[in-house]
Amino acid sequence: MTETSAAIATTGLTKYYGRKLGCSQISLTVPRGSVFGFLGPNGAGKSTFVKIMVGLIAPTAGEAHLLGRPLDDFAVRARIGLLPENFRYQDWLTPLELLDFHGRLTGLERSEVAVRAPRVLERVGLGSESGKIRSFSKGMQQRLGLACALLAEPDLLFLDEPTSALDPIGRHDVREILVQERERGATVFLNSHLLSEVESICDQVAVIDQGKLIESGRLADLLSGPCEVEITLAVPLPESAAAEIAAVGGIVREDVAGRLVVGLPAEDAIPALVARLAGAGASIMGVTRRRRTLEALFLEAVEEAHHG
Amino acid sequence: MASQPSAGVRSTLQRVGVVAGLTFREAWRRKVFLAALVMSVGFLVLYSLGLYYAGREVVVNTNGGGLGDAANALMRRGIAAQMLNYGLTPTSLIVSLTAVFATVGTLSGEIDTGVLHGVLARPIRRGELVAGKFLGLGAMLVVYDVVLVGAVSVLAHVLVGSPISEPVPALALFALEPLVLAALAILGSTRLPTLANGVLCTAAYGIASVGGLIEQLGGLIKNATMSNIGIVVSLLLPADAIHRKAASLLLPGGLLSIEGAVAAAGGGVPPQPSAAMVIWTLVYIVGAVVLAAWSFKRREL
């Protein structure tokens, strides 16, 4: 296997807990150096997938490779960082003691951990915290969990709801860290409910529902395609405008009180539409592209999966 | 020239050592050990008072009379040995229950809270984690056991002149008793909830003690069936058997008054566990830890 192989590659990954389905036939490829968003409603199977990836549970069927190595390759875990959904630590330790424990388990020398630990704590905003972990707020504990995950400078980071306990400042900080990690060359597998967060930093996404993968691909591709444009008019449209709209493949969705909403087959039809309307005598005051959001994509995908 | 351990073995030992070190520190800070230490001090104070007053009575009641000096001295030695034995029995109870309570939740508790999720995502095998946990807790229990048994022995020796025969091998065998229970508890901890595991291990300790009593009574009244029942129970959980073996090394043979009295009346002698039981105890401890590693490896978290 070369280092150019995918960060994560799974084929038909399936997990049953007894007779209960955890996830089914998940075939997924996560390119190296990407920030990958893994979305799904509660109980969809997201955490099951992450647990299989980090060796906490074994798959019932299917194959998976991490960084080009099979899941049961013990050594690959030294190159992985995990922030679990339920982040709990030995709360009688200080942050430095906890990082020393995790660093040495990963195979780092004590002297190396001593250099890295203060730096990584500073990075997650806990540089000045020296008390016992039990005195930390939930948000601080989540930051500490991120520090644990980052300590060994892993090639692959699994973050399960990494901002669930953080305030808006904390969420912003984490987003910045994830961008920095991508710039470092690490792959980030982000399991999150916060669609705006995923949309702002992820290159690729996958949507899982009832244990099955229902959508996956590059975020830009998934959000492209049909779009809507809202045009503000000073006066009502002239009658000839209808033909101009139809000529670019547009469909009028709304035309009320100087606000015209047109559905277009693609984003690049917007300039032609505006030019044609202006040519037909429409007095255009403003044009706003209505983007397809990740939230809309997510809701559509889940609804389609539920109702066929 | 001795061969150097491979890098893989060194890494394994390092990881086991890291977990054992953390577990030892955690055990030291746990309230169960603190409570055990406080109660142990109380027990030692009470035991000292008992020895002091009983010792004075023994000296008064075995001086003079119809017996000669040699017989009086022999009687005093026998009573002193019995008094040390009286101290070792509650010591066994305290140390054994401490071993159970300190160990029952060592894996199940951390599974429930999720602490192990972050740890097991590291490059550490589950068997290494189990071994490290056992060694860390075991080291703490051995220190605790040796200090407590040592303190009881020294107090009995100083205050009433209890004879002590082979203290070093005896202490080594006494230390195996909590290790047997810790190994059993860590095995249970891989599958059972903490409370259920605690009930099971405590009950097992009680059954082993009763089994030991049946075996001894069987020896005294020369009933082979009772002896065999006791031996089977000892094989299933050798905690009580190894305690009796250790006590037999610490106390010179034939000095326990009950033994002498029964033997003089034509009865049998309570059997002491053999050297094979020591070997079985060691195999039992290692086997239980290996089984725990195997069981934990298959546990889904």
Segment B96-106, tens digit of pLDDT: 999 999 999 99
Does residue A55 sit at the B interface (CB-CB below 8 Å)?
yes
The whole-angstrom separation of Cα B6 and Cα B19 is 20
Q: Across the interface, do B118 and A75 touch by the CB < 8 Å criterion?
A: no
All residue ranges of chain A with pLDDT < 50 are 1-2
Q: Across the interface, do B15 and A78 touch by the CB < 8 Å criterion?
A: no
Q: Across the interface, do A77 and B123 touch by the CB < 8 Å criterion?
A: yes
Identify the CATH number of the domain defined by range A8-218. 3.40.50.300
Claim: this prediction has a pTM higher than 0.90: no
Q: Mutate which of A90, A101, A141, A158 to disrupt the B interface (most B C-beta within 10 Å)?
A: A90
In this complex, which of B117, B124, B301 lies closest to A105 when CB atoms are compared? Answer: B124
Q: What is the DSSP string of B221-235?
A: TT-HHHHHHHHHHHH
Residue with tokens 């920095």: A180
Residue B140 to residues A59, B179, B289: CA-CA distances in angstroms? 38, 10, 17
Q: How are the residues of chain B apportioned to helix, strand and coil, as percentages rounded to the nearest 5? A: 80, 0, 20
pLDDT of res. A238: 82
Task: Give the ipTM.
Answer: 0.83
CB B177 within 8 A of CB B239: yes
Distance from chain centroid for Cα A136: 27
**Residue range B45-61: mean pLDDT, rounded:** 83
Higher-pLDDT residue of B151 and A281 is B151
pLDDT of res. B5: 57
Does residue A23 sit at the B interface (CB-CB below 8 Å)?
no
The whole-angstrom separation of Cα A25 and Cα A14 is 5
Q: Which residues of B touch A89 (CB under 8 A)?
A: 115, 118
Q: Across the interface, do A56 and B301 touch by the CB < 8 Å criterion?
A: yes
Q: Domain-by-domain residue ranges, chain A?
A: 8-218, 225-291
Q: Let me know if domain A225-291 sits in CATH 3.30.70.1150.
A: yes
Does residue A102 sit at the B interface (CB-CB below 8 Å)?
yes
The whole-angstrom separation of Cα B17 and Cα A105 is 10
Nearest chain A Cα to B11, which residue?
A107
Q: Across the interface, do A82 and B123 touch by the CB < 8 Å criterion?
A: no
The whole-angstrom separation of Cα B140 and Cα B95 is 11
Q: Which helix (H) or strand (E) holds A181?
A: helix A168-184
pLDDT of res. B2: 46
Span B213-265, pLDDT tens digits: 998 888 888 889 999 999 999 999 999 999 999 998 888 765 554 555 555 55
Cα within 13 Å of Cα(B94), Cβ side: 24
Span B277-292, pLDDT tens digits: 999 999 999 999 999 9
Q: Which residues of A touch B111 (CB under 8 A)?
A: none
pLDDT of res. B257: 45
The whole-angstrom separation of Cα B161 and Cα B90 is 20
In this complex, which of A57, A84, A148 lies closest to B114 when CB atoms are compared? Answer: A84
Backbone angles phi, psi at A25, to 5 degrees: 50, 50
- Give the DSSP letter of residue A126: -
Q: Which residues of B touch A55 (CB under 8 A)?
A: 120-121
Residue B273 has pLDDT above 90, yes or no: no
Q: Across the interface, do B26 and A92 touch by the CB < 8 Å criterion?
A: yes
| 3-class state of residue A16 by DSSP | strand
Percent of chain B surpassing pLDDT 70: 87
A4-13, A283-292, B31-40, B66-75: lowest mean pLDDT where?
B66-75
Separation of first and last alpha carbons in chain B:
45
Mean pLDDT, chain B, whole residue set: 87
CB B190 within 8 A of CB B295: yes
pLDDT of res. B269: 59
pLDDT of res. A308: 63
The whole-angstrom separation of Cα B13 and Cα A250 is 70
| The one-letter amino acid at A46 | K
The whole-angstrom separation of Cα A153 and Cα A157 is 9
Identical fold at A8-218 and A225-291? no
Residues in chain A, total: 308
